[in-house]
Amino acid sequence: MISSSYFINVVRFTLLVLVQVLVFNRLNFFGFINPMVYILFLYWYPIKENRAVFIGLSFLLGFFIDFFSDTMAIHAASTVTIAYLRPAIMRFVFGVNYEFQSFRLGNATRAQQITFLALLIIVHHMVFFALEIFSLANILLILKKVLAIGLSTLVLCLLFSSLFSVRKE
């Protein structure tokens, strides 16, 4: 059981990195929209696992994406931020009951799932574009990018998550 969950996470990790760098980094929809679907890894990652491992893994995930897209360590910084904030976001979205043993992401309502994903994406994109553009003078540009790219990320992530839905265990 445990080994299969490890296996699934490793496969997910690899596939998401490859899909991100080989497909979505080249999309350039309207010239600048490249959705970041690798955030799904953090959405899907089991809730009750060791938090330190989760933060480390997320850092590694961002790092791999950085490697491929020559973005220094911006992906790593923003991914590790949402990894750290994930429990707080979950408490906000699902209430306290997410800490119970019986809680599964698949059992939550659709609206809750979407809110959870959207919050992850917004925080991630805010950190990402603030670091990438790195100037307060361009705050409008940052907001524009967060909005446009965040929306496309959300749509694609929802499509992916309904394609490969988490099994109801």
Q: Under the criterion CB under 8 A, does residue 92 sit at the interface with other proteins?
A: no
Provide the H-helix boundaries in the chain. 2-22, 40-44, 51-69, 74-94, 110-133, 139-163
Q: Under the criterion CB under 8 A, does residue 18 sit at the interface with other proteins?
A: yes
Is the distance from CB of 77 to CB of 26 less than 8 angstroms? no
Q: Under the criterion CB under 8 A, does residue 148 sit at the interface with other proteins?
A: no
Number of residues that bind other proteins (CB under 8 A): 35
Token pair 């060791």: residue: 50
Q: Under the criterion CB under 8 A, does residue 112 sit at the interface with other proteins?
A: no
Closest CA to 84 of 22, 137, 26, 42: 42
Spatial CB neighbours of 48, under 8 Å, sequence gap ≥ 6 = 101
Which of residues 65 and 154 has its CB atom nearest to other proteins in the complex? 65
CA 130 to each of CA 33, 67, 77: distance values in angstroms, whole numbers, following the listed order: 16, 19, 11
Which of residues 27 and 107 has its CB atom nearest to other proteins in the complex? 27
**Binding segment for other proteins among 65-73, 105-113, 118-126, 156-164 (CB under 8 A)?**
65-73
**Binding segment for other proteins among 5-13, 17-25, 96-104, 113-121 (CB under 8 A)?**
17-25
**Binding segment for other proteins among 41-49, 57-65, 92-100, 151-159 (CB under 8 A)?**
57-65
The whole-angstrom separation of Cα 13 and Cα 2 is: 17
- Residue 103's CB: how many other CB atoms inside 10 A? 14
Closest CA to 81 of 118, 37, 124: 124
Which of residues 56 and 106 has its CB atom nearest to other proteins in the complex? 56
Q: Under the criterion CB under 8 A, does residue 80 sit at the interface with other proteins?
A: yes
Question: Interface residues with other proteins (CB under 8 A)?
Answer: 18, 21-22, 25, 28, 31-34, 51-52, 55-56, 59, 62-63, 66-74, 76-77, 80-81, 83-84, 131-134
